[in-house]
Structure 1
Amino acid sequence: MMKFLLMMLMMIPLSLLKNFYWINQFMFFALSFFFILNMSVDWTFLNVYGMFGWDLLSYVLVLLSMWICSLMVLASVKIKKESFYCEFFCLVVLSLLIALFFAFSSLNFFVFYLFFEISLIPTLILILGWGYQPERIQAGAYLLFYTLFASLPMLIAIFYLVDIFDSLFLSFFDYPIDSLILFFCVNLVFLIKLPMYFIHLWLPKAHVEAPVSGSMILAGIMLKLGGYGMLRMMKLFVGVLSCMNYIFIGISVLGGVFISFLCLRQTDVKSLIAYSSVAHMGLVLGGIITFTYWGFCGALVMMVAHGLSSSALFCLANITYERVGSRSLFLNKGMINLMPSMALWWFLFSACNMAAPPSLNLLGEIMLINSLVNWSFLNMLGLAFMSFFSACYSLYLFSCSQHGKFSNNLYNFNSNSLREFLLLFLHWLPLNFLILKGELISLFI
């Protein structure tokens, strides 16, 4: 663990040097590949150092954080043209990666809370500093106050847990607590971060106003902090949720259906992708609340799959936005005539978004549907609508953006670059080949 931390700390002075953008890019990818080589398939905890260590859940999400941060730098080459802001951007991304590294690796609940909150600051800087519209200030305020409002009760709950267990190490949380108030104090911030339906309004605003790097990290990693926190803390509240889990499962399934209807009415490309994230993460919440082996494993698989597919869709939306200057589906029509090779990537990632084989989304949805239907057969109706409308809005996104007559306002148009193809390929490759190693998830519990 220390060697990866030292590598990240060595990258801080490098990120402040001018004309070192591509070296920073190489260092981010090198860090990811070294981390992959560190994997073992026969451990319970790996590289325990002080208050930090990895099990499979931590390892997968730290690796996803490194990979998405590497792709963020690759996707944000336009920032390279501004000398000072380029170095500052690399520093912000690196500080965000360090915060996520510690948050996912922490064995101490207070240290997790500390870095959970620290990761909010670089994300806010990305939205406020490189957002496209003046409304980014409102979007940043939504993100900040939604999270802070819910995280203060969790800080109070931490002090209460110290009094109960005499420790904040997660391994010492060994017996359940029957307290509804404590459950909401601990998990409300995770439900907002997921986000759960009814408390999801910050997400579309933040996604629409964020730059491509902000949207990638929000969809790829920040939503997963909520799922990670719930997976860590669920064993404390088995008794509470055994009496009221039907409420959360009902909200997750019915909320996913309502959000799917809402996706079919969107005219903003980024808004449609952001709302589809709410539907997919609703499935993750339902799988966690069922307290089944299938549900926990399916939640982990779906978090990884959604992080890659949603991040790629935001990259595609940004590639089109840089050329057209608009995110409206009324103006982004007929792109297959102007960028035929990019239409293939739109199709591939739209297919992944609707959980078509052989994507990792399919494996995650099979596991989650299995856990939810085993919990109650009535969920079959809502899940059928969710699966059907998931295909509907994914095809709606693809057909409306690629087919039709393109706008006559497009006077100047650039062709695609090799960097953009590489960016999309590095999303697609793990998303469609990790399904071949699905047996690794059996080590989760």
Structure 2
Amino acid sequence: MMKFLLMTVFLTPLCFFSYWYLSLFLFYFSFLFMFMFNISKDYWFVSYNFGLDLLSYSMVMLSFWICSLMLLASEKIFKKNDYYELFMFNILFLMLSLLMVFSSLNFFIFYLFFEISLIPTFFLIIGWGYQPERISAGKYLLFYTLLASLPMMVGIFFIYKNVGSLEFYFLSLNLNSFLFYLCINMVFFIKMPMYLIHLWLPKAHVEAPISGSMILAGVMLKLGGYGLFRVMKMFLNIGMKINFIFITISLIGGVYVSFICLQQSDMKSLIAYSSVSHMGLVMSGLLTMNSMGMWGSLVLMLGHGLCSSGLFCLANISYERLNSRSLYLNKGLMNFMPALAMWWFLFSVGNMAAPPTLNLMGEILLINSLVMYSKMSMIMLAFISFFSACYSLFLYSYTQHGLFSSGIYSFTYITNREFLLLALHWIPLNFLVFKSEIFSVWI
């Protein structure tokens, strides 16, 4: 892992040059990282306190890919000369912290970089956001996470006192303590985010620049799922008794959030709320603690990261031309941006889990997992699946069809850079499913 950490650090001088150089090198890193893949149940590429398994590898690969695409999507910042050197340094720092989080074998190092990754995201939102409300959105993001992370630190000290080690491999506490369960897991529930503690997410998404929305949807929400993967083995006894509470909240919340999606007038807000619904499904699958739920959660996290990030890119392309995110003004886009209508359709059907996307495979596995856990969950799962199709089609039809209602008649064509950006989201989203046997290592 040291070579990737040092490569990321030594990219810093490129922050003073064109963003194409940095983007190209990050894509090159992604390409190098692909050759490190190894189908194994065990950790590989282990060095002091760092190593990879299938879960870590998937998340690091996703981080490299999304960070590369963030630079590709942010041309406006470089054209306006809007402190772009600091912007590129911010993205590199974020990439470095995510690499450390996902490859860490030690709980305390994981916790440390979990918190550090919050800082560049906070600066992205308050530094390059669009409206004055970005200050309050940044505070929401910061305080929601920090409020829950302090009990987690106390929990980590308690684990060290009782186990004598903080290596994930040795974490085998089986305490029947609800308080300890909440101390460790609440920060992951907020990061996912679980319904009832999700209010920071729509605010952060709406006020963030396109790069902020992409990293939030693509990677930052996955930190919660990754953390639950790592610590859930400590809570086997208590989890069997109380996980059903959080599963119920997530499933009912997923249906309720779907209704909220159907009455949104802001494109980014609609996509952000749909993330709450999808990640609620991921969290429910994780908390069932069976192998199919684990497998499905990982697949849906990858699928959602690519699909949601692509939808935010599409919303941003429209916003840059019409200066509005309102669904009432972004009507009839098919009339003057017909090439983009196909991409809207492809990502909208991906969002509702149509074949052959990773989202479909993940949802099938999660539905199986939850129905095995409790047959009552079928009711909520049916509603979540149906309404995810409703709000995805609502977003597509409202933006593409109808009369073009805006008074702006001058616009720029879709550039090759934007087509490349969308294609690099869509290709892995649809083609990784043909190599889905790599996930079966857990079954």
**TM-score, reference length from structure 1:** 0.98
- 1:272-304, Cα deviation, whole Å (9 max, x unpaired): 000000000000010011011100000000100
Structure 1 stretches of 4+ with a deviation exceeding 4 A read none
- What residue in structure 2 maps to residue 9 of structure 1? 9
Counterpart contact for 2:40–2:54, Cα < 8 Å = no
- What residue in structure 2 maps to residue 282 of structure 1? 280
TM-aligned CA deviation for residue 47 of structure 1: 1.1
SS in 2 for 1:53: strand
The aligned runs of 1:204-215 (5 Å cut-off) are 204-215=202-213
Counterpart contact for 2:330–2:406, Cα < 8 Å = no
Counterpart contact for 1:69–1:217, Cα < 8 Å = yes
Amino acid at match of 1:41: I
The aligned runs of 1:16-415 (5 Å cut-off) are 17=16, 19-42=17-40, 44-83=42-81, 85-415=83-413
Bigger drift between 241-250 and 199-208 goes to 241-250
TM-aligned CA deviation for residue 408 of structure 1: 4.2
- 1:395-416, Cα deviation, whole Å (9 max, x unpaired): 0000000001112411321110
Structure 1: stretches of 5+ with no match in the other structure: none
**Percent identity over the alignment?**
60
Counterpart contact for 2:40–2:53, Cα < 8 Å = no
Q: How many residues align?
A: 443
What is the CA–CA distance in structure 2 between the aligned matches of 1:66 and 1:37, rounded to whole Å? 14
Aligned-pair RMSD on alpha carbons?
1.0
What is the CA–CA distance in structure 2 between the aligned matches of 1:393 and 1:289, rounded to whole Å? 26
TM-aligned CA deviation for residue 174 of structure 1: 2.2
- 1:1-23, Cα deviation, whole Å (9 max, x unpaired): 121112111101221x2x33211
Bigger drift between 338-347 and 5-14 goes to 5-14
Counterpart contact for 1:56–1:444, Cα < 8 Å = no
What is the CA–CA distance in structure 2 between the aligned matches of 1:397 and 1:169, rounded to whole Å? 45
- 1:4-47, Cα deviation, whole Å (9 max, x unpaired): 112111101221x2x33211111111011110111122461111
SS in 2 for 1:39: coil
What is the CA–CA distance in structure 2 between the aligned matches of 1:300 and 1:21, rounded to whole Å? 31
Amino acid at match of 1:295: G
SS in 2 for 1:139: helix
What is the CA–CA distance in structure 2 between the aligned matches of 1:158 and 1:124, rounded to whole Å? 25
Counterpart contact for 1:57–1:444, Cα < 8 Å = no
TM-aligned CA deviation for residue 428 of structure 1: 0.2
Amino acid at match of 1:229: G
What is the CA–CA distance in structure 2 between the aligned matches of 1:306 and 1:190, rounded to whole Å? 17
